[in-house]
Amino acid sequence: MSFTGTLPGLTADDSDRFETALKKFVGARELPLYKMMAYHLGWVDQNGEPEPAVVQDRSHGHLVLSTAKAVGADNASAMPYAVSVEMLYNFLLVHEDVQNANTERNMRPTIWWAWGPAQAINAGDGIHAMARMSLFEQRNASGHAADPRYISMALESLDNATLDVCEGEYLDISYQERAAVSVAEIVTVARKHGALYGVSAKLGGIAAAADDGVIDALYKFGSALGTAQNLNIDLQAQWPAEGTERTEVQRGRLQSKKKSIATAHAIENGTPTTRRRLGEIFMKRVLDPADLDEVTIILAETESRAFAEGKIAELADEALDALNGAGLSAEQQQLLAESAKLIVGM
Amino acid sequence: MSFTGTLPGLTADDSDRFETALKKFVGARELPLYKMMAYHLGWVDQNGEPEPAVVQDRSHGHLVLSTAKAVGADNASAMPYAVSVEMLYNFLLVHEDVQNANTERNMRPTIWWAWGPAQAINAGDGIHAMARMSLFEQRNASGHAADPRYISMALESLDNATLDVCEGEYLDISYQERAAVSVAEIVTVARKHGALYGVSAKLGGIAAAADDGVIDALYKFGSALGTAQNLNIDLQAQWPAEGTERTEVQRGRLQSKKKSIATAHAIENGTPTTRRRLGEIFMKRVLDPADLDEVTIILAETESRAFAEGKIAELADEALDALNGAGLSAEQQQLLAESAKLIVGM
């Protein structure tokens, strides 16, 4: 599950201010296209009428704010960067819902399900185009926030992270059709997806006009924790928490034959019989619930869950190690370390 | 049909250099994701093996080069801007092919048809993310090309144009489900789509570090010609040139119930009987060839083609008028005027 709370080090006020900034950014535009975006972001219903806010994962935007705070930027300078990366994250979700045919997200119909795939592709493209616009407004800010060097570094980092995610997504989709996928391949894909948290943490450093070394360290921190989270999301889909059912998005991932690091471990380390059973399942066009149960049984035999959890713990350690290069106070470092664990979902 | 030749004022060399720059930009990256892009751009087959180049519409990139030349920029400074807008145009095509379920473009299978919709959405997203990257390299250029003010103006203009297109696309898709669409509504949509040629011409001015007034005039020129072209594309789908068949993309547009300005004219000005017949057709879920023929017959009765052609001629005039504000030599103005006609398809 993704993290929907407020990160340690941020106050409820910080979180409210961010939500207000995001809402203002999208709400400044009038057309129905933007109502659809507001629906996706959880503020209005399908008719564009206000409804009680749906709690959503804002951890990308929040990570910008908390890393910025850790390296000494005020909230106001970090806000446009936080809005920017949150928009990017959400454009990817809107497209992922079409790609995986998810009918529900956060227990509400997805855009493609409510308005059709053509509108969902278009709404995602619009969110993508808007993602950088909050930064252009920075040019009118005062101090280093208006420094074109920082704005341009941020813009380039955002595009690079998006392209990393697309590279990962290409591999991810192509692995859906292959039975033989290795642990190393799955980690490579997760690292590509981790770039979005990498750029989130980096933008916090940019907002604070931090030294290049600090900005680099923050990128590595975010990227490693994002990688760990990406691997963990698939584990949580495989083994939902005690007493909870798989969500629509989790089922979608498994049924579209996304392979977790645990599955890759079983493919690499299982007996010939195990591998043949997995192969038979993944050669089906669509998996049904019985197939998903069968995979769970196989993964128990190969002890792949423990292996996967070990790998995720390693990556979380990698994130914390990276923080040592960011020159933070012990207290700030501790807050980010706790944030990392919450985002990874450990 | 879109324009696939070389615009007046550009040499075959200019056109070759542009193609080489575009190919180098995409080819600098190694993963299979980029092979898919190279396939879409017409340089390799589905296996990534070189094949004789497929002639494609490069008029967005070419318009950057020809406007830049008209206001005195050299080719080299304009090239990254031309690459940028051409990538944007192509990301939109890749997504349009999924949205309209086009199986073929330029007589080859589309990305979604060959690799599935999930890969096509992702490839389009990747092209979108890359579209600005050629501009970041400008920072290392010399002279005004490296001036952050111009780079940032260009980046912002590109995102604004993309968002305009998404706004137009939203309306376009929602009009597909409505029978009653007005001429004014169709022109509004076309103006949104025209923004992509608007930004192409504007980037030519930016590449030349032209005055703001000149840059504005170029934007208006490109935007009006793009609007005219957008309207004309739908007319050409309705009435293919003598002796030619409708292409897959043209059929896709009509069958997905995109309304041309001619159709909107008939809806607004037809007799009650005409309107009822059109209404019955557009209430069908999918149109078949007989429906398309029936629409053609109705449009002949309402003389909607002549009306539509008149409106397109008006917009083409608007484009030429805008050029008067760009302070061009008579010769350069003439070359751009000829380019406009070719792009509009008059």
Whether B122 sits inside 8 A of A99 (CB atoms) is: yes
pLDDT tens string B7-31: 999 999 999 999 999 999 999 998 9
What φ, ψ does residue A108 adopt, rounded to 5°?
-130, 155
User: Distance between CA atoms of B166 and B168, rounded to whole angstroms?
Assistant: 5
For B31-69, b where at least 16 C-beta lie within 10 A, e where not — what string? eebbbbbbbbbbbbeeeeeeeeebebbbbbbbbbbbbbb
pLDDT tens string A282-321: 988 888 889 999 999 999 999 999 999 999 999 999 999 9
Chain A CB contacts of B126 under 8 Å are 163, 166-167, 170
User: Concatenated DSSP letters for B31-87?
Assistant: SHHHHHHHHHTTSB-TTS-B-PPPP---HHHHHHHHHHHHTT--HHHHHHHHHHHHH
Whether A152 sits inside 8 A of B139 (CB atoms) is: yes
More confident residue, B149 or A36: A36
Q: Please give the pLDDT value at position A313.
A: 97
Instruction: Quote the distance between the C-alpha of residue A107 and its chain's center.
Output: 18
> Which domains does chain A show, CATH number per domain?
12-344 (1.10.600.10)
Report CA-CA distances (Å) from A323 to A214, A316, A334. Answer: 9, 11, 10
Task: Give the closest-approach CA distance of A249 to chain B in angstroms.
Answer: 16
Chain B CB contacts of A129 under 8 Å are 128, 159, 162-163, 166
Q: Please give the pLDDT value at position B287.
A: 87
Question: Please, are residues B86 and B59 in contact by the beta-carbon 8 Å criterion?
Answer: no
Instruction: Quote the distance between the C-alpha of residue A279 and its chain's center.
Output: 29
pLDDT-derived band at A178 (thresholds 50, 70, 90) equals confident
- What is the average pLDDT across B278-283? 91
Q: Are strands A108-109 and B108-109 parallel, antiparallel or unpaired?
A: unpaired
Substitution target from B98, B125, B136, B138 for chain A, most A beta carbons within 10 A:
B125
Placement of tokens 């209005």 in the chain: A44
pLDDT tens string A132-147: 999 987 777 777 767 8
Whether A117 sits inside 8 A of B119 (CB atoms) is: no
B130 in helix, strand or coil?
A: helix
User: Distance between CA atoms of B293 and B322, rounded to whole angstroms?
Assistant: 38
- What is the average pLDDT across B300-305? 94
Whether B163 sits inside 8 A of A130 (CB atoms) is: yes
In chain A, count H helices and then E strands. 16, 2
Helix (H) or strand (E) holding A340, with range, is helix A330-344
B198 in helix, strand or coil?
A: helix
Chain A CB contacts of B122 under 8 Å are 95, 99, 166, 169-170, 173
ipTM of the complex: 0.94
Question: Please, are residues A10 and A64 in contact by the beta-carbon 8 Å criterion?
Answer: no
- Nearest residue to A98 via CA among A115, A85, A79, A83: A115
Substitution target from A152, A171, A199 for chain B, most B beta carbons within 10 A:
A152
Q: What's the one-letter identity of residue B281?
A: I
CB pairs under 8 A between A and B: 132
Substitution target from B97, B127, B135, B166 for chain A, most A beta carbons within 10 A:
B166
Give the chain A residue whose CA is nearest to the CA of B129.
Answer: A159
pLDDT-derived band at B96 (thresholds 50, 70, 90) equals very high
Chain B CB contacts of A170 under 8 Å are 31-33, 36, 119, 122-123, 126
- What is the average pLDDT across A206-229? 96
Q: Looking at the predicted structure, is the pLDDT value of residue B140 above 80?
A: no
In this structure, what DSSP letter does residue A142 have? Answer: S
Residues making up chain B, counted from first to last: 346
User: Concatenated DSSP letters for A11-23?
Assistant: -HHHHHHHHHHHH
Q: Please give the pLDDT value at position B256.
A: 84
Whether B95 sits inside 8 A of A121 (CB atoms) is: yes
pTM of the model: 0.95
pLDDT tens string B226-265: 999 999 999 999 998 888 888 888 888 888 888 999 999 9
Q: Residue B264: beta bridge partners?
A: none
Q: Please give the pLDDT value at position B307.
A: 97
User: Distance between CA atoms of B29 and A286, rounded to whole angstroms?
Assistant: 33
- What is the average pLDDT across A112-134? 96
A109 in helix, strand or coil?
A: strand
Q: Please give the pLDDT value at position B253.
A: 84
